[in-house]
């Protein structure tokens, strides 16, 4: 009996390992393109790979349940097609003994997923936010690309073109509790990063500020024009 259960357990666990590698690779395909793009733009490969490793840890909570389900279906499908289950039942082996390895492996993976959800993923979620700020401070020119929306804690920035460090036709959206609070439009801007303070300063020229005084009526806005203005923000993740 133990030999039979060990045989089934090894089959399921081996298939599970192969399946989780395949599923994790499929889930990472979209992020692989982003990683390759960052490396081509000049980002430090070690920093990018560290960020990619954090993403993989977050994907495990989705990959593990799918992998164990797929492994169970594949193994018992093969046992059924080879008439091995029929042979086991003919020898007097009950279904409870045949499926015992699955329950043990499933219980172990359930405990591991609970540990991921409650301890590992929250910790690495915070680490990802800190790493994003570090990437932004170490190589802002890599992330700041024309036509792309760049997200900071509480802000999004996008612009049309960049020449000699000057950003043209820039738009900054500021959010409060995930709701749009104000929008700043400027013809040109200078962006300065302060690594010691972990923040940035935008020197804006020839623009307007649109503020939403009442969250209940976002369509009503107050507009103020300016010739020059400085906009300072922190990048630290809390």
- pLDDT tens sequence across 46-72: 777 777 777 788 788 889 999 999 999
- Res. 107: pLDDT tops 90: yes
Number of folded domains that form the chain: 2
In the block, tokens 């279904």 appear at 95
2, 55, 163, 175, 228 from 209: Cα distances, Å: 73, 36, 24, 14, 11
Query: Rounded CA gap, 94 and 31, in Å?
Result: 45
The pLDDT, as a whole number, for residue 64 is: 92
Asked whether 117 and 61 are in contact (CB, 8 A), the reply is yes
54, 124, 161 from 118: Cα distances, Å: 16, 11, 43
pLDDT per residue as tens digits for the range 15-38 = 999 999 998 888 887 777 766 766
Query: Rounded CA gap, 152 and 42, in Å?
Result: 20
The pLDDT, as a whole number, for residue 74 is: 92
135 shares a domain with 66: yes
- Res. 237: pLDDT tops 70: no
176 shares a domain with 116: no
The pLDDT, as a whole number, for residue 87 is: 85
Q: Which of 92-101, 103-112, 170-179, 196-205 has the lowest mean pLDDT?
A: 196-205
Q: Which residue has the higher pLDDT, 225 or 124?
A: 225
Number of H helices, E strands in the chain: 7, 6
Residues in the chain, overall count? 238
122 shares a domain with 38: yes
124 shares a domain with 15: yes
Q: Which of 87-91, 147-151, 225-229 has the lowest mean pLDDT?
A: 147-151
27, 55, 120, 161, 190 from 112: Cα distances, Å: 20, 18, 10, 48, 48
Q: Residue 2: which residues within 8 A CB-CB, separation 6 or more?
A: none
**pTM of structure:** 0.57
228 shares a domain with 194: yes
124 shares a domain with 27: yes
Query: Rounded CA gap, 138 and 136, in Å?
Result: 6
Task: Determine the average pLDDT of the residues in 131-147.
Answer: 63
Average pLDDT score over the chain? 79
Query: Rounded CA gap, 128 and 122, in Å?
Result: 10
Q: Which of 143, 128, 149 is nearest to 52 (CA)?
A: 128
127 shares a domain with 64: yes
pLDDT per residue as tens digits for the range 142-157 = 566 677 777 766 778 8
7 shares a domain with 94: yes
Q: Which of 140, 170, 192 is the last residue of a domain?
A: 140
Range of the domain at 173: 144-234
130 shares a domain with 53: yes
Q: Which of 140, 165, 191 is the last residue of a domain?
A: 140
The pLDDT, as a whole number, for residue 236 is: 47
The pLDDT, as a whole number, for residue 71 is: 93
């Amino acid at each position: 009996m133990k030999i039979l259960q060990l045989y089934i357990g090894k089959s399921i666990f081996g298939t599970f390992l192969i399946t989780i590698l395949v599923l994790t690779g499929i889930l990472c395909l979209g992020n692989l393109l982003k990683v390759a793009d960052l490396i081509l733009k000049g980002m430090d490969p070690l920093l990018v790979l560290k960020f990619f490793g954090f993403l993989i840890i977050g994907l495990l909570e989705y990959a593990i349940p799918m992998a164990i389900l797929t492994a169970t279906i594949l193994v018992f499908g093969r046992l059924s097609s080879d008439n091995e289950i029929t042979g086991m039942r003919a020898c007097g082996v009950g279904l409870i003994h045949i499926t015992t390895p699955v329950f043990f492996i499933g219980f172990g993976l359930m405990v591991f997923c609970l540990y991921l959800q409650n301890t590992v993923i929250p910790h690495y979620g915070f680490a990802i936010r800190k790493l994003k700020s570090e990437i932004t401070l170490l190589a802002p020119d890599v992330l700041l690309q024309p036509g792309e929306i760049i997200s900071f804690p509480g802000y999004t920035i996008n612009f049309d073109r960049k020449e000699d460090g000057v950003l043209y036709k820039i738009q900054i959206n500021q959010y409060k509790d995930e709701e749009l609070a104000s929008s700043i439009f400027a013809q040109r801007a200078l962006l300065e990063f302060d690594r010691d303070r972990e923040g940035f300063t935008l020197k804006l020229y020839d623009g307007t500020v649109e503020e939403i005084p009442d969250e209940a009526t976002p369509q009503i806005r107050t507009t103020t024009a300016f010739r020059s203005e400085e906009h300072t923000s922190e990048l630290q993740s809390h």
